[in-house]
């Protein structure tokens, strides 16, 4: 009964954290999608301008699908969603500058990004295997399998925690650039609101992962 109630509490907490963070992010993104930037430039223009400002070459800025805003260290390229690539809103501006922030990290050998990139293969393996091993350990009553599953899950938490400084720093770089090139106070304030909201999703993901780990450890002790 204790385990069942603990699991229900975990589900409720996960839904609450995920739901609230998603609502807040979407609210901020949509709010500033309606506010055009003062220069009338697109997100792609801003991204290329920021790359040039910091002397970073060889990084293509290309359009992607809906919701595809990311920097890919494997190809050293930036992909922006249609809303960010062609959009002229403050949200587009903030999104583009944030992704260039990641390109700056890569170009300068930012250690947390190097660590995150290095552990991606291990995280992918762990995320695919831990649940299977955990269930098998419970069903077959093999404590060793449960322990291995928990260790594998803990790897994903390390990834979530390492992701936090990477994302925060990319946003810091974006805001520094905006201030350096004299963007308006409205643009800087709106961009900060957008980037802070997006950062919240990573904090929420890390928190949920930690709660999940605590639940798994409690089951192990039981």
Helix (H) or strand (E) holding 16: helix 2-33
User: Would you say 90 and 37 are in contact if contact means Cβ atoms under 8 Å apart?
Assistant: yes
Burial class of 4 by CB neighbour count within 10 A (0 to 12, 13 to 18, 19+): exposed
Helix (H) or strand (E) holding 61: strand 61-63
The β-bridge partners of 77 are 72
The β-bridge partners of 70 are 79
Annotated catalytic residues are: 99
Alpha helices by DSSP H, listed for 80-180, are: 82-85, 90-107, 111-139, 143-180
Helix (H) or strand (E) holding 39: none
Hey, what are 160's tokens? 């979530």
Count of CB atoms situated within 10 Å of the CB of 90: 26
d(CA 199, CA 16): 17
User: Would you say 42 and 200 are in contact if contact means Cβ atoms under 8 Å apart?
Assistant: no
d(CA 37, CA 22): 24
């Amino acid at each position: 009964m204790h385990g069942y109630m603990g699991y229900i509490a975990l589900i409720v907490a996960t839904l609450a954290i995920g739901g609230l963070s998603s609502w807040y992010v979407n609210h901020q993104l949509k709010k500033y999608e309606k506010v055009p930037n003062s220069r009338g430039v697109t997100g792609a223009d801003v991204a290329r301008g920021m790359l040039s400002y910091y002397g970073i070459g060889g990084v293509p800025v290309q359009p992607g699908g809906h919701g595809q805003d990311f920097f890919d260290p494997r190809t050293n390229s930036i992909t922006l969603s249609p809303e960010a690539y062609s959009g002229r809103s403050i949200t587009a501006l903030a999104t583009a500058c944030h992704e260039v922030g990641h390109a700056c990290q890569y170009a300068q050998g930012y250690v947390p990004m190097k660590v995150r990139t290095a552990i991606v293969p291990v995280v992918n393996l762990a995320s695919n295997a831990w649940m299977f091993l955990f269930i098998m350990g419970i069903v077959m009553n093999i404590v060793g399998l449960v322990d291995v599953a928990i260790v594998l899950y803990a790897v994903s938490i390390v990834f979530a925690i390492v992701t936090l400084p990477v994302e925060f720093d990319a946003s810091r770089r974006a805001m520094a650039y905006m201030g350096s090139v004299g963007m308006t106070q409205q643009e800087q304030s709106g961009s900060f609101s957008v980037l802070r909201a997006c950062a919240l999703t990573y904090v929420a993901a890390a928190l949920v992962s930690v709660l999940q780990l605590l639940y798994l450890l409690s089951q192990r002790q039981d």
